Structure 1
Amino acid sequence: MFLEKHLQILTEFKEKARALYQDEAFTADFQQPHEAKSLISDYVSRQTQGKIQQLISDLDNETCMVLVNYIYFKGKWKMPFNPRVTFKSEFYLDEKRSVKVPMMSIEDLTTPYFQDEELSCSVVQLKYTGNASALFILPDQGRMQQVEASLQPETLRKWKDSLRPRMIDMLHLPKLSVSTDYSLKDVLSELGIREVFSTQADLSAITGANDLKVSQDKPQSCA
């Protein structure tokens, strides 16, 4: 929680934020937006081992509080790839475009697998040490849009229930990094959460005054 240095926060709000969310509070000078952005982004970068950088893209001089929530996950493959057999290979973005990428490789791998004939794709589950795992979906040629349109909770449940151990002679997987940012304001408004983004917002439990509203709700994910 980054607070404008002159903002007076109610003790009860601070205590509940600390008790319920293990919240840390820092002061920032939002009249100096560049310095405030650097303060917040540098903090998140340190806490996520550099995986999430430049979290804040813009601030205006009316900002008085920024709430930040981050998750950092570092997993190790249960069956690790040997870095010595990584090689450069073509990765196809679509039917016509491709790029050269480092391709990880593993031989004689027994792992959960499912061939979805209905959606024309293959599904492989790779496990991390511990309880986490990742699903990799390979659409048949020309079926990418069909598979993307079908990525619903029930589809994932079907795949999970259908996975069976299978020996794979050779599995190639491109080294990858995925990141995105998006606004939830429209989504939350459709769910009926509207007043908090308007002048009708009642956030008086934070400062005791009724002059605050949420101006942005912009998560960022990175893997």
Structure 2
Amino acid sequence: MVTAAVQTPVLDALSTHYARVWTGRGDARWLRHAWQTLAVLGEVPPDVPAWGDGAVDARLRLAVLARLSDRFNLVLEGEEPEVVDITEGPFAVDGADVLAWMREHDVRPLHELLAEVSDPDLEPEPEPAALDLTDVEFCIDQLSDDVLRTLFTVRPFDALFVELAGQRYERVRDIHGCGDWTEAEDLVGYPLAPRVVRALRSFESESIRAGREWLREETERIAPG
């Protein structure tokens, strides 16, 4: 009996938005692959909840993965990362729901921190009309090490490096002289085709070496040993 593939419409839409629309540097295919890796372990649901309980938490965890992808690519490009705004785009969550998540997880909103710095004796101000993007970054930071520790534990360093570098395998193909690859091999996505993996492992450049070193430092910092 053939088992029907699990449909993940929210994950698909958010992966595309976070990877391509927001940062413009990631690959939605890798984001879905990384999420599904965590889903197999039971760390996240197969699809991101469209609303309700867990909607904010799931988007933040996907944003952690998007930021890892973005930072890896930025090491190659020498630019600064963007913050994924989970209150914008398809299946966006309301800022009030993000603030509620912050209260539940003891994450202080920016307006409170600024008020405390200006005058510690003042009464806390009411909730702002709009969520500051810095607040979203605070939330992503809160979950980042937990999400990445699981990913780094289940994906050995070499495999994860190749997967992240695989976001650019079309460019590597052109530089590497693999002109006989077929279009189907280019679009196979994840898991990467063996031929793509071999090319990525053998390809060397200054930026690729910088990306490998950055990822190694991150894995040793978050999941030592």
Please confirm whether the aligned pair reaches a TM-score higher than 0.5, indicating the same fold: no
Computing the radius of gyration from Cα coordinates, the structure with the larger value is: 1
Whichever structure has more strand as a proportion of its residues is 1
Structure with larger RCO (C-alpha < 8 A, sep 6+) = 2
| TM-score, length-scaled by structure 2 | 0.22
